[in-house]
Chain A
Amino acid sequence: MNRLLTLTMMGAAFAMTASASVQAQDDETVRFGVDVPYEPMEYRDADGNLTGFDIELGNALCEEIGIECEWVVQGWDGIIPGLQSRKYDAIMSSMTINDDRREQVLFSDPYITPPSAWFIPTDSEIDDVSEEGLDGFTIGVQRGTLQDNYATDMYGDVADINRYDTAEDLVLDMESQRADIAFLDFPVGKATLIDNEEYDYQVIGNMITEPKEYFGDGFGIAFRKRDEALAERFNEALETLRDNGTYDEIYDKYFSM
């Protein structure tokens, strides 16, 4: 029996090491973690290529610095752990800068500050987004986002909150009327709901950027805490792109109304 034990032990140990891929880090390229689809910030075009505001800006930043960019797709749930485990070197994926996340990662300067907004079908019965106004309705959010945190704390007692893995799942449930109102980053809601051809949606209430403890200071690129030099290089490049007009070019491509 002992022989069997040793043999199987060895087999198991081998299987474990073989399946956990070990690879060294490359200095020449910066790998970005990104969660898709989150239109228009990051999504796949018809040919399956990654595109969107973050992707184009990220590539432009790398070009400015003079390094290679690589994009690694990662679900939102595991995006910060993935950075810490060096699956990639930075996150550029519509990540809002806030205090909770500052404890985990190092942020660049904000590169865009989009508001959050409420979206409803045009024939909805909802006419205001106060606590009373949403009493008994179902709010759809993406799990683990700041909209999730805000909606949970502000409306958790009066409304049902449905949490989805992706914005796309939420859109589907809006169409089937399982969710009554969606709370999303404005550009995302615009691209996925307002620009939807088959169904009519509208924004209700104001654009929301306050309170800061939830909505933070805009989107930043997240780095590992020890990579201060890298973050500084991106901050400088961002500054340059804002000055030379490249930033505005990309911005207009995605956000001109």
Chain B
Amino acid sequence: MQALSEWFTELLADNTIFTAQTLGYYGSGLVTTVQLVFLSLIIGLVLAVPLAIGRSSQRRWIRTPIFLYTYVFRGTPLLIQLYLIYYGVVFFDGIQETWLWVLLEEPFVPALIAFTLNTAAYTTEIFRGAIKATPRGEIEAARAYGMSRRLMMRRIILPSAFRRALPAYGNEVIFMLHASAIASVVTIMDLTGAARFIYARYYAPFDAFLFVAAIYLCLTFAILYLFRYLEKRLLAHLKPLEQ
């Protein structure tokens, strides 16, 4: 351990790029990335549940607008959505004078809005698929108990749908982490933003981008293992019997 830390200090002392200052940029970039991704996922998740229920509704006037929303947000690049929200909100006359501007002034909030709307659209479709795949037997059993539609949704359909949605949702989380890299195009100093700054300052593309790629790789693995663990816990009843 002693040798390892000595080796590391030596390595750091010998280079001009990974100084305390630049590591600080990567550090705060990591915090920004995690905040951005975590918040948009949480809000997106909260939005997606009612949207998914509405999307599976029998009534056309509920179903169609939600379908259009998910179709448009899943069919166009996130970069366009980000540009539209970041540059678009400015053109509402007098927005700078309202309280909203306090939020929208920071690039973080427009980016958060774009990411949230995007992930909510994907998550809605994931949940819809899971709700649709509810085994008939479970619904019939719930009806036989005399459950109302509401109660059935809460006690039977949603819990089982959440479990089924887990693997697909895990992919969506990783997708969001990777997509968040584009936040750097609207001046946000996330992980990628930090790497671009350090590249521009030292003309060292390998150091700047390989380092940040390694951090993303670690984050991806962390998410992967978290979801694998969750699947093991929550989907245990679906595992094939051991021979």
Contact = CB atoms under 8 A, between A and B. Distances in A.
B87 A77 contact: no
Contact of A77 (B105, B107, B189, B199): B199
A80 B105 contact: no
A76 B203 CA distance: 11
B187 interface: yes
B197 A177 contact: no
Nearest to B101: A177
Contacts of A162: 107, 187
B96 A176 contact: yes
A163 B203 contact: no
B203 A81 contact: yes
Interface stretch (A5-13, A44-52, A143-151): A143-151
B87 A178 contact: no
Interface in B74-127: 87, 90, 96, 101, 105-107
B183 to A, nearest CB: 13
B201 interface: yes
Interface in A153-183: 162-165, 172-173, 175-178
B187 A164 contact: yes
Given A163-B187, A164-B187, A172-B87, A178 B200 contact: no
B196 interface: yes
Contacts of B90: 175-176, 178
Interface residues of A, number: 19
A104 B201 CA distance: 13
A177 B187 contact: no
Contact of A149 (B96, B189, B201, B205): B201
Interface string B163-201: 000000000000000000000010101000100110111
B96 A177 contact: yes
A118 B196 CA distance: 24
A143 B197 contact: yes
B196 A143 contact: yes
A144 B201 contact: yes
Contacts of A175: 90
A221 B129 CA distance: 60
B105 A178 contact: yes
Contacts of A104: 203
A162 B188 CA distance: 8
Contacts of B185: 165
Nearest to A177: B96
Contacts of A76: 200
Nearest to B205: A81
B89 to A, nearest CB: 9
A80 B201 CA distance: 12
B96 A80 contact: no
A172 B90 CA distance: 10
B96 A163 contact: no
A93 B154 CA distance: 64
A163 B197 contact: yes
B105 A144 contact: no
Interface string B114-144: 0000000000000000000000000000000
Interface string A35-51: 00000000000000000
Nearest to B185: A165
A177 B203 contact: no
Which residue, A76, A144, A162, A178, has most C-beta atoms of chain B within 10 A?
A: A178
29 contacts: A76-B200, A77-B196, A77-B199, A77-B200, A81-B203, A81-B205, A104-B203, A143-B197, A144-B200, A148-B200, A148-B201, A149-B201, A162-B107, A162-B187, A163-B189, A163-B193, A163-B197, A163-B200, A164-B187, A165-B185, A173-B187, A176-B90, A177-B96, A177-B101, A177-B105, A178-B90, A178-B105, A178-B106, A178-B107
The 9 nearest A-B residue pairs measured at CB = A144-B200, A176-B90, A162-B187, A143-B200, A177-B96, A178-B105, A77-B200, A80-B203, A163-B187
Given A144-B201, A176-B90, A178-B90, 11 more contacts: A77-B199, A80-B203, A104-B203, A143-B196, A163-B189, A165-B185, A172-B87, A173-B187, A175-B90, A177-B96, A178-B107
